[in-house]
Homo-oligomer: A and B are copies of this chain.
Amino acid sequence: MNPPDSAPSLALPGRDTRYSQVARALFDDIRAGRYAVGDRLPTEAELQRRFDVGRHTVREAIRQLRNAGLVTARAGRGTTVTAATGTRRYVQSMNSVAELLQFTRATRLALLDRGEIIADAALAREIKGPPGQAWFRMALLRTAGGDPKPIGHINVYVRPEFRGIADEVEAHSIVFSRLEQRYGVQLFELEQELSAVRLSALEAKRLLAARGSPALRIVRRYFSADRRVVQMSVGIYPEGRFSYATRMHLSVPG
């Protein structure tokens, strides 16, 4: 019942190289149990003869299996099958808050508005905190280069004791990093939610876009070590002005 076209296994596409053919063949053998966990693979010399390839090719094929976590090789002993299927974990990692938020480029922030507010039910839900709590709110406009049209509009909420950052936001063009540096706040966790919305009248006016037109909405919650929200922001980015990109890769243990 195997479809005739279903042969490949370790999927190294593009141009089908010799080493990927060898790697696939060995992977199939492992997956089918012809080489069980704990067994040794044939030696490099044997694999050279079996597949009629050079040594580099064999080694490159085995390197694929090693990277996939299926075998381990040691000089003098041989190459041992350690797993029939890779234990996989995918990781996205970033070096700084700025990188996390993808505003390392030359963008600027303009402070439109500020003031203290008491969280109503809706805001409390978004902040994931109790209603009735006081927050300091800033309305910001992010612009890039000489473009008159802003990239986005951001409502930032910080705890009232941090209201002082309002004075430095424009100069530094970033909010949270200032919190870290001025108040020693350490980010422990960041939560993001991305969705599509349509622009409200106020947003449209500030962003020089059409009311009701599509926009990317990004809600971010910044947690400190004690798991409490120290900052929350709601960014609105009209279509075509900003896209959010992430990259996750397979992490290879050991």
Contacts and interface: CB of A to CB of B under 8 A. Distances in A.
Interface of A: 3, 5-6, 8-14, 20, 24, 27-28, 31, 64, 67-69, 83, 85-97, 100, 159, 161, 163-164, 179, 182-198, 213-216, 224-226, 228, 230, 237-240, 242-251
Contacts of A185: 10-11
Contacts of A161: 5, 8, 13
Contacts of A249: 69, 188-190
Copies of the protein in its oligomer: 2
Contact of A10 (B14, B27, B184): B184
Contacts of A216: 194-196, 216
A15 to B, nearest CB: 9
A98 to B, nearest CB: 11
15 contacts: A5-B164, A8-B161, A10-B185, A11-B183, A11-B184, A11-B185, A14-B226, A188-B250, A190-B247, A193-B243, A194-B194, A196-B197, A196-B237, A197-B239, A213-B214
Given A93-B88, A248-B100, A10 B238 contact: no
Identify the 4 closest CB pairs spanning chains A and B, nearest first.
Answer: A214-B214, A9-B184, A11-B185, A195-B243
A178 to B, nearest CB: 11
